[in-house]
Amino acid sequence: MSDTPHYGDAFARWRAGAPSWQAYTRHRFVEGLADGSLPHEAFLHYLKQDYVFLIHFSRAWALAVVKADTLGEMTTAAATVNALVNEEMQLHVGICAAAGIDQATLEATAERSENLAYTRYVLEAGYSGDFLDLLAALAPCVFGYGDIGLHTAATRSSDKYTDWIETYAGDDYQGLCVAVGELIDGALLRRLGDGYADLPRFAQLQARFERATALEVGFWDMGLRP
Amino acid sequence: MSDTPHYGDAFARWRAGAPSWQAYTRHRFVEGLADGSLPHEAFLHYLKQDYVFLIHFSRAWALAVVKADTLGEMTTAAATVNALVNEEMQLHVGICAAAGIDQATLEATAERSENLAYTRYVLEAGYSGDFLDLLAALAPCVFGYGDIGLHTAATRSSDKYTDWIETYAGDDYQGLCVAVGELIDGALLRRLGDGYADLPRFAQLQARFERATALEVGFWDMGLRP
Amino acid sequence: MSDTPHYGDAFARWRAGAPSWQAYTRHRFVEGLADGSLPHEAFLHYLKQDYVFLIHFSRAWALAVVKADTLGEMTTAAATVNALVNEEMQLHVGICAAAGIDQATLEATAERSENLAYTRYVLEAGYSGDFLDLLAALAPCVFGYGDIGLHTAATRSSDKYTDWIETYAGDDYQGLCVAVGELIDGALLRRLGDGYADLPRFAQLQARFERATALEVGFWDMGLRP
Amino acid sequence: MSDTPHYGDAFARWRAGAPSWQAYTRHRFVEGLADGSLPHEAFLHYLKQDYVFLIHFSRAWALAVVKADTLGEMTTAAATVNALVNEEMQLHVGICAAAGIDQATLEATAERSENLAYTRYVLEAGYSGDFLDLLAALAPCVFGYGDIGLHTAATRSSDKYTDWIETYAGDDYQGLCVAVGELIDGALLRRLGDGYADLPRFAQLQARFERATALEVGFWDMGLRP
């Protein structure tokens, strides 16, 4: 069912252990997308901030290519960079253009501190830690949007934000979530063995996942304050 | 005079070009230290957050050791790490102990998002950029506390926060500011030549300095909300 | 003419200032590709080492995505990662398969120390320095193979290594060299202004270029010792 | 006994699993230090290269400060940076001065490729991996010199290199080895739990240890070729 999407074993554990997950994926901003109550101004403000976010998020996925241990890990991470730079960012450019925001305006967006906090946290986790630290910090965004896509598609009562909802509820994005879930589960097994969830290392990764989830809550809060 | 401390050429330029400098160094939190109006609860809350800050700030100075080009740059950065880990952090431990906060409590402090935003910004600037990017992001904290120390020492009307004020107004800390100013000026000359201030690179560093200064404002704001 | 390919202003300067450039691009290994005197065993040995090289070289280009300042820089670097992971590495897999070396053997190749020295030098230059340091260390491989491709195509007297020669002499690879040359020239102008070649920073980049060029010589030397 | 110094559990396992350990710690260069057969010219050449090595090795330990997870890890790593920059490097300056090599000559030493290969491998392991990857790559140098110090002190038949031997056989250096051994054992337990040696992660660290050990063999080989 939509409330518990299946993106692998590590995600199921991390989500269950993240106190902020509900506040993130059922945020007032999210419910406003589903029922159409979100002011259009807030949506456009969010899109502009999210464009800046995606630049740094793409950089973080590129760092995953650098930090991968196997060719398979590298290839999946490189494909994600590509999807972000050449597809998801273009989608934003398109939605924004339709709303009268041109690319120059998008690129000139002043980065809000909630946005900066989140992306620099993820990048620094990646630089200072290893591939697993980076993936744990990247996971809440990837999987949360998958969860939110399914939830808003299942509960929506307005057509106002249908394009956005269908992007994340759609097969392409859901397939990406499954692939990233497999990447993470495989990376954990390859490094920590099949008892990975019992190791102190996993608790550290859990803490990274929760921290990034809490930063997502801050991002939605910021989205409501154009 | 106290309002314009001399910590070198780059600092003078960066400060002049940083719209947030005044908001940072003459913040209500700062004036509250000088006139004693800052609630003690806010001060203790600040000290605990600043302890967490200093851990990451020390890590950032250690990154400067890694990124230095010359032995002289390395040695100055290594001495700063030492001063932070073995002196300034101990000072915090001491002030906190006197206020009834033991080290275990200090270390268990939950990091506020304004704190996280600032330190991760600095570390990521260092990792993604070079030695100059890192120094430009480290500079507002070092020099700002020097400026605030002199300002509060010159204007104080209460003895409540004398220890803190004298730490940053004192010769040791002021000497550190001068040494870091020389480190930065030397690093700029060594890489960019004596026309460095006219290069686009300098404008990028100016932007880093302003961003970190704005994050200092956010840190003081947070300090007022225990 | 083939001996002085045009890949931009910075490359022209770096090549002129690199004492090892001739030893690299006119190495006995290179002349052996052109006249067919290179033993097939040495060629296969080189291909296997180069496969390992390309993995780390792709990681280094992914680091360039992380370290880019503009969207244009990011996009060019991301496209290069893609070309390396999805095309050039596949080419190696293909040539090796035709020579009876399967992918499992390729991936099990024990990395020679000359290979390790070169790739770790490039990656560390990128991590410790900025985007420019990374590009200066990446440049000798990209441009040198372009130069060698044109030189061997113009002088070859044997069909033995035609596939390899045509890969690097071909329009796709030559176009990549031009694009990377533009990336580098643009990155220099954007950071250091149009007098960049007179700055101490440029001499540092020159030293990185020469060091990486010397490591290419070591790589060819190793190629002759299967 | 001198042949199996005790620097902790991880070291005992790593040494036992490193095929190159014997070739490194009982290298002809080492035996030449013990019996005085090492030509003085080779010794001076080694000292100059080792000076360059120590600069990068200090940078790598500074990276360990950045990558540490706990205050205790940070403090030990910071103390090691200090010992390297302010003591061990000064020792080299002193021995070299006594041999007629001034500091300017030392600093102008052209870095040999075996030297570069080793230090860039360690630094890149640290940047791309986490604290454990970095420690596994740093360990062979720290512990190997401890082992070599005890071995040469126990077997020496000449006074020629007594100062060098006593430095590494002495209490200060042996104490450092014990402290670093505790740092590593503690770091493993803290992240991977008490079954750490059975995890795939430990095999990866073993491979890093062996690789760095093999690079030490290359360093001694280079030392014999002034």
At residue D77 the predicted structure's pLDDT band, cuts being 50, 70 and 90, is: very high
Q: Number of residue pairs across A and B with CB atoms under 8 Å?
A: 42
pLDDT tens, residue by residue, C80-126:
998 888 888 888 888 889 888 998 899 899 999 999 999 999 999 99
Contacts of C120 in chain D (CB under 8 A): 117, 120-121, 123-124
> What single-letter amino acid sits at D152?
T
Instruction: Please indicate, yes or no, if residue B1 is contained in any of the structural domains.
Output: no
* d(C-alpha B164, C-alpha B168), whole Å: 7
Q: How many domains does chain D have?
A: 1
DSSP per residue, D66-131: HH-SSHHHHHHHHHHHHHIIIIIHHHHHHHHHHTT--HHHHHTPPPPHHHHHHHHHHHHHHHHS-H
Q: What is the pLDDT of residue A91?
A: 81
Do C24 and C220 form a contact (C-beta atoms < 8 A)?
A: yes
Q: Quote the tokens at residue A89.
A: 């960012």
Instruction: Please indicate, yes or no, if residue B213 is contained in any of the structural domains.
Output: yes
Contacts of D215 in chain C (CB under 8 A): 113
Eight-state DSSP code of residue C39: -
Long-range contacts of D147-150 (CB under 8 A, 24+ apart): D147/D3, D147/D5, D147/D25, D148/D25, D148/D30, D148/D33, D149/D173, D149/D174, D150/D2, D150/D3, D150/D5, D150/D174
Instruction: Please indicate, yes or no, if residue C89 is contained in any of the structural domains.
Output: yes
Q: Quote the tokens at residue D225.
A: 């070729």
Do B105 and B92 form a contact (C-beta atoms < 8 A)?
A: no
In chain C, what percentage of residues exceed pLDDT 90? 86
* CATH number, position A64: 1.20.910.10
- Mean pLDDT check: name the lowest of B79-83, C24-28, C89-93, D30-34: C89-93
At residue D3 the predicted structure's pLDDT band, cuts being 50, 70 and 90, is: low
Q: Quote the tokens at residue A76.
A: 């999946």
Backbone angles phi, psi at A36, to 5 degrees: 80, 5
* d(C-alpha A133, C-alpha D191), whole Å: 12
Backbone angles phi, psi at A158, to 5 degrees: -150, 155
Taken in order C71, C74, C80, C85, the sign of the CA dihedral is negative
Which of B69, B190, B200 is nearest residue C192 as measured by Cβ atoms? B200
Instruction: Please indicate, yes or no, if residue B177 is contained in any of the structural domains.
Output: yes
Task: List C-alpha distances in Å: A181 to A176, A185, A186, A193.
Answer: 8, 6, 8, 16
Report the mean per-residue pLDDT for chain B.
95
Which of D55, D71, D78 is nearest residue B81 as measured by Cβ atoms? D78
Residues in Cβ contact with A191 at an 8 Å cutoff, skipping those fewer than 6 apart? A69, A132, D199, D200, D201, D204
Do C169 and C153 form a contact (C-beta atoms < 8 A)?
A: yes
* Closest by CA position to A106, among listed A84, A123, A91: A91
CB contact under 8 A, A116 and B113: no
Residues D113, D114, D117: CA angle, nearest 5 degrees? 80
Q: What is the pLDDT of residue B48?
A: 94
Structural domain containing residue C75: 9-223
Task: List C-alpha distances in Å: C55 to B140, C51, C58, C90, C118.
Answer: 40, 7, 5, 11, 12
Task: List C-alpha distances in Å: D123 to B7, D53, D62.
Answer: 33, 12, 10
C186 or D86: which leads in pLDDT = C186
* d(C-alpha B25, C-alpha B53), whole Å: 18
Q: What is the pLDDT of residue C3?
A: 61
Radius of gyration of chain B (CA): 17
Instruction: Please indicate, yes or no, if residue D70 is contained in any of the structural domains.
Output: yes
What is the pLDDT tens value at each position of chain A, 226 positions in all?
A: 446 789 999 999 999 999 999 999 999 999 999 999 999 999 999 999 999 999 999 999 999 999 999 999 999 999 999 888 888 888 888 888 988 899 889 989 999 999 999 999 999 999 999 999 999 999 999 999 999 999 999 999 999 999 999 999 999 999 999 999 999 999 999 999 999 999 999 999 999 999 999 999 999 999 999 9
Instruction: Please indicate, yes or no, if residue B3 is contained in any of the structural domains.
Output: no
- Mean pLDDT check: name the lowest of A1-5, C210-214, D162-166: A1-5
Instruction: Please indicate, yes or no, if residue B173 is contained in any of the structural domains.
Output: yes
Secondary structure in 3-state letters for C75-140: HHHHHHHHHHHHHHHHHHHHHHHHCCCCHHHHHCCCCCHHHHHHHHHHHHHHHHCCHHHHHHHHHH
Which of C58, C65, C82 is nearest residue A59 as measured by Cβ atoms? C65
pLDDT surpasses 50 at B1? no
At residue B90 the predicted structure's pLDDT band, cuts being 50, 70 and 90, is: confident
Q: What is the pLDDT of residue A83?
A: 86
Which burial class, exposed, middle or buried, applies to A171 when counting CB atoms under 10 A from its CB (0-12, 13-18, 19+)?
Answer: exposed
Q: Quote the tokens at residue D126.
A: 């640290």
Q: What is the pLDDT of residue B3?
A: 61
Greatest mean pLDDT among B85-89, B197-201, C81-85, C95-99 lies in B197-201
Task: List C-alpha distances in Å: C176 to C81, C169, C170, D225.
Answer: 12, 11, 10, 41
Instruction: Please indicate, yes or no, if residue A3 is contained in any of the structural domains.
Output: no
Which one of D113, D208, D210, D211 makes the best mutation probe of the C interface by having the most chain C beta carbons within 10 Å?
D113
Contacts of D55 in chain B (CB under 8 A): 71, 74
pTM: 0.97
CB contact under 8 A, B81 and D62: yes
Task: List C-alpha distances in Å: C31 to C157, C210, C214.
Answer: 10, 21, 18
pLDDT tens, residue by residue, B34-82:
999 999 999 999 999 999 999 999 999 999 999 999 999 999 999 999 8
pLDDT surpasses 80 at D36? yes
Which of B59, B124, B218 is nearest residue A120 as measured by Cβ atoms? B124
CA distance A143 to chain C (A): 22
Q: What is the pLDDT of residue C1?
A: 43
